[in-house]
Amino acid sequence: MERVFVDINNLKEFTSDVFQKLGVKKEFADITADVLVSADRRGIGSHGVQRLKRYVNDIKNGRILPNNGPQILKETPVSLLVDGQAGLGQVIGYLTMEKVIEKAKKSGMCFATVKNSNHYGIAAYYSMMAIPHNFIGISLTNAAPLVMPTFGKDMVFGTNPLSIAVPTENETPFVLDMATSTVPRGKLEVYRRMGKKIPKTWATDEHGNPTDDPDRVLKNLLERKGGGLLPLGGAEEEDGSHKGYGLAVVVDILSGILSGGAYGLYVYKEKHPNVCHFFGAINPEIFIPLEELKKNMDDYIRMLKNAPKRAGKDRIYIHGEKEYEKEQEHKEKVSVLKVVYEEMLNIAKEAGCEVELKVIG
Ligand code: NDP
């Protein structure tokens, strides 16, 4: 599909302006734009500016109350219970993680569980906020129910991603950032667009049987006819389906249940979706000297990358490495799908946006 290049700063300014024209205060609009553009820079287009329309619609229909920030309901030296007050997920995530890091500087670690927020985009944005402080960062979120439990027929919980970021000395930081379903919904959309069949470990039909037809799954998801995405591992125990299922439930427990918010089928049930998150920052120095952690992380990463390779494979990656390389490549400009670019221009025109989004190649 045709793509166009845009300047990173122009894209951020443009995206922020769209939010500001919808009445979002500049600070919050800038945070949200930065999270979205970061996803594009990291090569996760499915969670980048392509989602602008969805956030704009949710602000217009009152699902998101975009000028609400995080409200602390309960606080100890190592914890926060936060009400997201139906604010923008990116703003609630960013400001909560900022506070978590600030508290970890004093207490060695801090964890926050957040209720009543919205879709926050890529989980790694928040875990990675800990890296410049030389802390380990953790970020989890629940999501709209699209995934079924092992041996289930209908969807009960979300693609519930988790991200853990760990600092290194010279190697690329370790950044695991993954949905706990085999794939997120966006990947089925990509396959449908390309007219390709999907592997049978990704999703089921309305009867709960594995299928290779992405169109059928996506239609069923939309019409809530049954079936849905499979947990990480696929449909069967022998492929480890129950492990992905377990990870997704853990995410729901730490974010949804522990915050007193929504979990499983209750997420996106009411007008305000009540998406819940969990964040953490750990100062490694409460266990070992920072230098030792960083030295051993580098050593471990080299051990993994230098391990013997399977025939036909010449490289072993570390989690976050491919995304880091894309980020370096996209320091100044990034490409977006032409259809996404055109959709953004329409959104901007409707919102009365003043910043022009220019194609630079
Ligand atoms: P991927 O399957 O693309 O990647 C999962 C992880 O594995 C990443 O850390 C990735 O790092 C790493 N990885 C990929 N290939 C290799 C390899 N060969 N060796 C080692 N590591 C590898 O991610 P998902 O499709 O599961 O998720 C995509 C994004 O969607 C994430 O950012 C997630 O947070 C977001 N998401 C958000 C949701 C929400 O509701 N807010 C819901 C679901 C997902 P790298 O890419 O650097 O290789």
pLDDT tens sequence across 107-128 = 999 999 999 999 999 999 999 9
For the domain made up of 185-229, the CATH class stated in words is: alpha beta
Do 192 and 215 touch, CB atoms closer than 8 A? Answer: yes
Q: What are phi and psi of 154, to 5 degrees?
A: -120, 160
Q: What is the pLDDT confidence band of residue 189, given thresholds at 50, 70 and 90? A: confident
Domain at 3-182+230-288+322-360: CATH architecture: 2-Layer Sandwich (3.30)
Pocket residues: Cβ below 6 A from ligand 1: 44, 47, 119-124, 141, 143, 159, 161, 163, 175-179, 183-184, 317, 319-323
pLDDT tens-digit readout, 200-223: 999 999 999 999 999 999 999 989
Query: Which residue, judged by its Cα, is nearest atom 5 of ligand 1?
Result: 178
Residue 226: DSSP 8-state: S
State residue 296's pLDDT score: 98
Q: What tokens appear for 106 in the block?
A: 């004093």
What is the CA(332)–ligand 1 centre distance, in A?
23
Residue whose token pair is 């970061």: 38
What is the CA(23)–ligand 1 centre distance, in A?
32
Distances 254 to 73, 115, 233, 319 between C-alpha atoms, Å = 17, 11, 22, 23
Q: CB-based contacts of 175: which residues, under 8 Å, 6+ apart? A: 124, 127, 128, 163, 164, 165, 166, 319, 320, 323, 324
Amino acid identity of residue 239, one-letter, is D
Q: Where are the chain's structural domains?
A: 3-182+230-288+322-360, 185-229
State residue 186's pLDDT score: 82
Flag whether pLDDT at 8 surpasses 90: yes
Flag whether pLDDT at 361 surpasses 80: no
Atom of ligand 1 nearest to the CA of 120: 41
What is the CA(300)–ligand 1 centre distance, in A?
21
What is the CA(124)–ligand 1 centre distance, in A?
9
State residue 99's pLDDT score: 98
pLDDT tens-digit readout, 237-287: 999 999 999 999 999 999 999 999 999 999 999 999 999 999 999 999 999
State residue 248's pLDDT score: 98
What is the CA(153)–ligand 1 centre distance, in A?
25
- pTM of the predicted protein model: 0.96
**Strand ranges in 118-237 using DSSP code E only, listed in sequence order:** 136-141, 162-166, 174-178, 203-204, 228-229
Flag whether pLDDT at 129 surpasses 90: yes
Query: Which residue, judged by its Cα, is nearest atom 48 of ligand 1?
Result: 322
Ligand 1 pocket test, pick from 32, 178, 180, 315 with the greatest ligand atom count within 8 Å of Cβ, gives 178
Atom of ligand 1 nearest to the CA of 325: 47
3-182+230-288+322-360 matches 185-229 in fold: no
Closest CA to 52 of 268, 335, 336, 344: 344
Q: What is the mean pLDDT of the chain?
A: 96
What is the end-to-end Cα distance of the chain in Å, rounded? 15
